Amino acid sequence: MENNGEQTTLERIQQQISENPILLYMKGSPKLPSCGFSAQASQALMSCGEQFAYVDILQNPDIRAELPAYANWPTFPQLWVDGELVGGCDIILEMFQQGELQPLIKETAEKTKAE
């Protein structure tokens, strides 16, 4: 197998997930989401008041194609926290409404700042 310094899509996904403790794979960007689910998910995340990373899967069709199999989660958006898949829009909103998302995001952000 030859590797000319080119990352496979899977390696890129793994790197993004390991380097960004709070990561949202979404359609569009938090400021300009391209679908309602991504809009709601990023809105909930922004309400938590911490910085998070995002990947616009519309700009990255290779990630869009491969992430569902890697994550074992068929749809977008996908929220990853601390290397673990939290879930999609429904789960994100449910956790937010139940007050579970905010402390998770805060603790993760604080842990990252401390390192």
CB atoms within 10 A of CB 58: 15
pLDDT at residue number 114:
87
Query: Mean of the pLDDT values across residues 15-27?
Result: 98
| Single pTM value for the model | 0.93
CA distance 78 to 68: 9
Mean pLDDT of the chain: 95
- Write out the binding residues for [2Fe-2S] cluster: 35
pLDDT of 1 strictly over 50: no
What are the tens digits of pLDDT across the range 49-104? 999 999 999 999 999 999 999 999 999 999 999 999 999 999 999 999 999 999 99
Query: Mean of the pLDDT values across residues 3-11?
Result: 82
Share of the chain above pLDDT 90, in %: 90
- Write out the binding residues: 27, 35, 64, 76, 89-90
- Write out the binding residues for glutathione: 27, 64, 76, 89-90
Task: Give the chain as a 3 state SS string.
Answer: CCCCCCCCHHHHHHHHHHHCCEEEEECECCCCECCHHHHHHHHHHHHCCCCCEEEECCCCHHHHHHHHHHHCCCCCCEEEECCEEEECHHHHHHHHHCCCHHHHHHHHHHHHHHC
Q: Could you tell me the pLDDT band of residue 115, with boundaries at 50, 70 and 90? A: confident
What structural domains does the chain harbor?
A: 9-104 (3.40.30.10)
Structure-model confidence comparison of residues 29 and 2, the more confident one:
29
Question: Dihedral, CA atoms, 87, 89, 95, 97, nearest 10 degrees?
Answer: 180
